């Protein structure tokens, strides 16, 4: 079985289309989408429409923390630990909310936080941050004891996740962590449409490979700049450079 893993699209439909075009070369059996679908980018409605088509064709799509912010304005749930949510975050969530139809908003709010699937005896967990959390991620530089605590919240052999916007594939004991990075809002220095291919061999053993197809990041950044929301100058710079700018 071959699974295409992508996420953190953040309303960047140009990056999403580039990633999907690249995946077709590898003929995946199914798609896994790790959340954060619409906030920050220039075309949230188009991104939702494209992802819903994937969903209808059998993709597994889960909800990210910013999807909660956009759908229901529950900023404490979407950004826990902040004494106050920056006005730029509120502006981006409210703008994306206004671009979506009631039906699209219902789709966002009804997405599950986690999904599981099996390849014979091998379980794959699809989540946004980490098992049991949309907001606690699995960055590579996280304290090892915290990483172990987070990944052992599941019996899954594979954890397909996102949230960090930094691509990462690593084994931790018997668990394989597959984070494709962000398809649309990368933080790891390459403004590309990132995704990962998760493959199971004949014995059900998983492996993963990262892909970084190019797309027109400059045009997507220009669309964000022209929107004129608080914080858009930084969002545009992030999209253009592939590095988190604030």
Alpha-carbon span 105 to 177, nearest angstrom: 30
Please, what is the average pLDDT of the chain? 97
Tens digits of per-residue pLDDT, 80-129? 988 889 999 999 999 999 999 999 999 999 999 999 999 888 999 999 99
Give the pLDDT band (50/70/90) at residue 227. Answer: very high
Is 20 inside a domain boundary?
A: yes
Is 246 inside a domain boundary?
A: no
Domain that holds residue 214: 2-241
Domain count, the chain: 1
Is 151 inside a domain boundary?
A: yes
Tens digits of per-residue pLDDT, 34-69? 999 999 999 999 999 999 999 999 999 999 999 999
Decide: residue 55, CB within 10 A, 0-12 exposed, 13-18 middle, 19+ buried: middle
112-123 exposure pattern, b = at least 16 Cβ within 10 A, e = fewer = ebbbebebeebe
Beta bridge partners of 158: 124, 176
Largest CA distance in the chain: 53
Is 186 inside a domain boundary?
A: yes
Tens digits of per-residue pLDDT, 187-206? 999 999 999 999 999 888 99
Is 49 inside a domain boundary?
A: yes
pLDDT of residue 85: 92
Is 38 inside a domain boundary?
A: yes
pLDDT of residue 150: 97
Is 74 inside a domain boundary?
A: yes
Is 180 inside a domain boundary?
A: yes
The CATH number covering residue 190 comes to 3.60.21.10
Tens digits of per-residue pLDDT, 131-179? 999 999 999 999 999 999 999 999 999 999 999 999 999 999 999 999 9
């Amino acid at each position: 079985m071959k699974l295409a893993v992508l996420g953190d699209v953040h309303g960047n439909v140009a990056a999403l289309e580039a990633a999907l075009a690249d995946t077709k070369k590898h003929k995946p059996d199914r798609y896994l989408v790790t959340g954060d679908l619409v906030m920050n980018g220039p075309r949230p409605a188009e991104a939702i429409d494209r992802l819903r088509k994937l969903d209808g064709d059998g993709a597994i799509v889960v909800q990210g923390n910013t999807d909660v912010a956009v759908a229901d304005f529950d900023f404490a749930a979407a950004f826990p630990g902040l004494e106050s949510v920056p006005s730029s975050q509120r502006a981006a969530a409210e703008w994306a909310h206004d671009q979506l139809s009631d039906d699209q908003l219902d789709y966002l709010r009804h997405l599950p936080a986690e999904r599981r699937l099996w390849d014979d005896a091998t379980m794959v967990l699809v989540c946004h941050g980490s098992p049991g959390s949309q907001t606690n991620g699995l960055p590579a530089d996280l304290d090892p004891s915290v990483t172990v605590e987070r990944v052992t919240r599941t019996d899954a052999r594979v954890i397909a996740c996102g949230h960090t916007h930094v691509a990462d594939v690593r084994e931790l004991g018997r668990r394989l962590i597959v984070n494709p990075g962000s398809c649309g809002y990368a933080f790891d220095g390459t403004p590309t449409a990132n995704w990962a291919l998760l493959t199971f061999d004949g014995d059900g053993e998983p492996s993963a490979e990262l892909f970084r197809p190019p797309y027109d990041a400059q045009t997507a950044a220009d669309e964000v700049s022209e929107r004129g929301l608080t914080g858009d100058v930084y969002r545009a710079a992030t999209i253009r450079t592939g590095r988190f700018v604030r």
